Amino acid sequence: MDKNVIPDKHRAAFLVNFKSPLEMGYTDTIMPEGDQVLIRVSGAGICHSDVHVWEGIWYKGGSPGKLPHIQSHEISGIVVSTGNSVPERIKPGDPVLVYPWQWLEDDRYTAAGLTNIPDRPVVPGINIHGGFQEYFPVSHYRYLINATGIEDLPALAPLSCGGLTTYRAVKKLGGKLKPDDYVAVVGLGGLGSYALQYLRLLFPQVNIIGADIRNDSIEFAEGICRMDGYINSSSGDINKMIMETTRGHGFRGVIDLVGRGTLPTYSRALAKEGIYVMVGLMGTGVQEPISPFFTVSMEKTIAGSYVGTLSEQHEVVDLARKGLINYIKPVSSRMDLEDASEGLKNLEDGKALGRQVVVF
Ligand SMILES: [Zn+2]
């Protein structure tokens, strides 16, 4: 696109008052300088973290930095202008995904490739303005992943959080799994539908068991990736169901995408040498008990997994480009920017089946 057609101001949805509908307005278009890149947004996903920001429960922790605030950290789009230090390989017209887990300065973690846990993180949509706007200024070209060959650019957006977080979590099971082991995915919404696919792809030798409290979530996930069994934990004796489903073995791996009320039950169901990967942040502030005795005597591993590295972000887009994961089906609804508030409310009320994306 010609630089001349980039407007001075563009439409954006602003969080002005917590828990109130976002307000539509205009904001200045920031032309890129130096390492910066301006993109025209194609898709901006809605994540559960956005609900926490929208509700104001992370405000004391610095998210958002200030109001009014522009939400969404899952952003895909088209490059429209580049700063004069940006390499020539990045040019207007390029389709891109924005890696949102950015950092203010390099430190020992980013130097080691652990860009997901820098000392000074700064995340669009969470700390600074995000993707609920027509044009988005990317602070450095290193955060852009080329999306050439991706046919549905808006649907790619959630791969920068939902589809990335689950990839890193599933990779943490590597080296632990043997043929015929059982692995559980706890929570079968949008995140679950990515996690199941990564398990199938990376560990085809295991039995994959999905668990959720909703039948429609189980059906949604099953429509995207075949499971070897599932557990509806809303009724009946959950421990008995787990033992029946795993033929008495328990789980060698658990990917917990919920993180509220799930740890005591599913960590107890871990087999010897099993690994439990905590991903879900629904239980912000929640403390859950686990057994030191069984963790020690059965050599269980309890691990946390936080989003994903910049390197893993490239890998995830490559998997989508090669058609090895379905990134389109986990997107259960698409909406206009004006309806982003409705999307946040859907998620807060537990009404969203998969990922929701604002499409421009
Ligand atoms: Zn997110």
Q: Is the pLDDT of residue 4 over 70?
A: no
Question: Could you give the CA distance from residue 340 to residue 359 in angstroms, rounded to a whole number?
Answer: 10
Ligand 1 centroid to Cα of residue 84, in Å, is: 31
Instruction: Supply the pLDDT for residue 1.
Output: 47
Q: Is the pLDDT of residue 268 over 60?
A: yes
Statement to judge: residues 346 and 269 lie in one domain: no
Ligand 1 centroid to Cα of residue 281, in Å, is: 10
CATH of the domain at 290: 3.40.50.720
CATH of the domain at 102: 3.90.180.10
Ligand 1 centroid to Cα of residue 126, in Å, is: 9
Query: Taking residues 75-79, what's their average pLDDT?
Result: 98
Ligand 1 centroid to Cα of residue 324, in Å, is: 22
Q: Is the pLDDT of residue 3 over 50?
A: no
Question: Could you give the CA distance from residue 303 to residue 317 in angstroms, rounded to a whole number?
Answer: 25
Statement to judge: residues 271 and 229 lie in one domain: yes
Ligand 1 centroid to Cα of residue 101, in Å, is: 10
Question: Could you give the CA distance from residue 13 to residue 347 in angstroms, rounded to a whole number?
Answer: 17
Ligand 1 centroid to Cα of residue 47, in Å, is: 5
Instruction: Supply the pLDDT for residue 235.
Output: 83
Ligand 1 centroid to Cα of residue 179, in Å, is: 32
Tell me the residue range of the domain where 129 lies. Answer: 3-161+314-359
pLDDT band of 5, cuts 50, 70, 90: confident
- pLDDT tens, 189-220? 899 999 999 999 999 999 999 999 999 999 99
Statement to judge: residues 29 and 57 lie in one domain: yes
Statement to judge: residues 215 and 341 lie in one domain: no
Statement to judge: residues 239 and 346 lie in one domain: no
Ligand 1 centroid to Cα of residue 121, in Å, is: 14
Q: Is 309 part of a structural domain of the chain?
A: no
Ligand 1 centroid to Cα of residue 357, in Å, is: 12
64: nearest Cα among 18, 129, 126: 126
Dihedral over alpha carbons 287, 292, 298, 303 (to 10 degrees): 40
Statement to judge: residues 119 and 208 lie in one domain: no
Q: Is 75 part of a structural domain of the chain?
A: yes
Give the domain-ending residue among 304, 325, 350: 304
Q: Is 86 part of a structural domain of the chain?
A: yes
Using a CB cutoff of 5 Å, list residues around ligand 1, an ion.
Answer: 47, 49, 161
Q: Is 324 part of a structural domain of the chain?
A: yes
Instruction: Supply the pLDDT for residue 158.
Output: 98
Statement to judge: residues 49 and 74 lie in one domain: yes
Ligand 1 centroid to Cα of residue 102, in Å, is: 13
Q: Is 112 part of a structural domain of the chain?
A: yes
Give the domain-ending residue among 284, 304, 324: 304
Q: Is 88 part of a structural domain of the chain?
A: yes
Q: Is 212 part of a structural domain of the chain?
A: yes
Ligand 1 centroid to Cα of residue 1, in Å, is: 30
Statement to judge: residues 39 and 107 lie in one domain: yes
- pLDDT tens, 286-323? 788 888 999 999 999 999 999 999 999 999 999 999 99
Statement to judge: residues 111 and 183 lie in one domain: no
Give the domain-ending residue among 304, 332, 348: 304
Statement to judge: residues 98 and 216 lie in one domain: no
Query: pTM of this prediction?
Result: 0.96
Ligand 1 centroid to Cα of residue 172, in Å, is: 19
Q: Is 118 part of a structural domain of the chain?
A: yes
Contacts of 258 (CB under 8 A, 6+ apart): 186, 187, 280, 282, 283
The structural domain count of the chain equals: 2
Residue in the block written with tokens 């887990």: 101
Statement to judge: residues 153 and 174 lie in one domain: no
Statement to judge: residues 67 and 211 lie in one domain: no
Ligand 1 centroid to Cα of residue 69, in Å, is: 16
Ligand 1 centroid to Cα of residue 309, in Å, is: 14
